[in-house]
Amino acid sequence: MSFTILSKDKETAARLGVIETQHGSVPTPVFMPVGTQGTVKALTHRTVEELGADIILGNTYHLYLRPGHELIREFGGLHKFISWNKPILTDSGGFQVFSMSDLNKVTEEGVKFSSHIDGSKHMLTPEKSIEIQQALGSDIIMAFDECTPYPATEQQTLESLNLTTRWAHRCRDAFNKESGSLLFGIVQGGMFPTLRTKSSHELQEIDFDGFALGGLSVGEPKDLMFEIIDHTVPTLPEGKPHYLMGAGMPADIVKAVALGIDMFDCVLPTRNARNGYVFTESGKMIIKHAKYRMDSNPLDIDCQCYTCRNFSRAYLRHLFQSGEITAAILLTIHNLYFYLDLIRQIRESLQSGNFYEWYKENLPRYEEGYKG
């Protein structure tokens, strides 16, 4: 059994759990920093570990194109190539193929695309995606799916989810269970509850170790996203991990945990840091604003991260305005600490049985602080 639920919240659908992988345990709910090309941007692994990350995410699309999965295979897998000994989850490459590459054609077989780096032509199929992820030696492998765009008609969404289901079977067939990796399926179905249920049930006929919600955070209103999450999670097996891909803002994470989501990944803490957007307990902070010019306070008054324990807003603003790489490092440390601390607080409240109190006390602040 790769997933154990340690406790369930009485008032919400939130759960405290642990996922066992080849490279160690992952306590859930978990936030996974994104390490697109084999590193969390602007950090060393040592810093990522010190910040408390239990698992990072790698991008199949990027690693396949550069340095190439065959090279990584020769090094004994991604863990060895990048010298990261904790768990790694890899996505299927599908999302980047649809969003980043010069897309050529989607067929029953798979997706033809041109590399965003050099224009070279490639074909990603369910079998190829699994082959790449197994070459990488990923601890958690994601099935290759079609991410249904928003908006889409019911008919388009149905056809897309049917393709995802057929691809899911091919992924499972291509997957070598002996590898010790876990394989997760991805529920599609767009904004149609009946189609979400259909996708969920069809995927459960396949032997997956966990289930992700795909095709969300693709431009739909937030309320609609939460309606779909609220509808879909109860259709999933309770005893398997539930993963909301690519989310989200702090309030999104808090709300999704209450709806029964166990796993999150998001580029916001790291990408926003490089753009000078700081996550704080009292809301967003744009560090370049002139009001921070003489501000001797830390980014977040009570934060215990290295950046907040040592540096003022004025200094960080100066580094950012000066284009110093050190600004990206220090702001990334803070933002990632913020996210990892948020999920740690959530786990602690679940552990002590007062998640719903924590939720009611903190959610309004996270909703208020990041409007607009």
| Residues designated catalytic | 91, 265
249 and 341 in contact (C-beta within 8 Å)? no
What angle is formed at CA 302 by the lines to CA 336 and CA 252, rounded to 5 degrees? 45
What angle is formed at CA 200 by the lines to CA 197 and CA 203, rounded to 5 degrees? 145
- The order of strands in the sheet holding 15-21 is 3-8, 15-21, 24-28
Task: Report 69-98 residues binding a copy of itself (CB under 8 A).
Answer: 71, 74-75, 81-83
Q: Residue 41 interacts with a copy of itself (CB under 8 A)?
A: yes
Q: Interface with a copy of itself by CB under 8 A: which range of 108-116, 173-181, 185-193, 292-300?
A: 292-300
Chosen residue from 130, 213, 256, 330 binding a copy of itself by CB under 8 A: 330
Q: Residue 226 interacts with a copy of itself (CB under 8 A)?
A: no
Closest CB 44 distance from a copy of itself, rounded Å: 6
> CB-based burial of residue 7 (10 Å sphere; 0-12 exposed, 13-18 middle, 19+ buried)?
middle
Instruction: Tell me if residue 71 falls in helix, strand or coil.
Output: helix
Chosen residue from 314, 345, 363, 367 binding a copy of itself by CB under 8 A: 314
Chosen residue from 244, 287, 329, 331 binding a copy of itself by CB under 8 A: 329
- Binding residues for a copy of itself, rule CB under 8 A, total 39
Q: Interface with a copy of itself by CB under 8 A: which range of 122-130, 179-187, 325-333, 353-361?
A: 325-333
Helix boundaries (H) for the chain? 45-50, 60-65, 69-74, 78-82, 94-99, 126-136, 154-174, 193-204, 222-232, 250-258, 268-274, 306-310, 313-321, 325-351, 355-369
Q: Smaller CB distance to a copy of itself: residue 177 or 289?
A: 289
Residues that bind a copy of itself in the complex, under the rule CB under 8 A: 37-46, 62, 66-67, 71, 74-75, 81-83, 274, 293-294, 296, 306, 310-312, 314-315, 318-319, 321-322, 324-326, 328-330
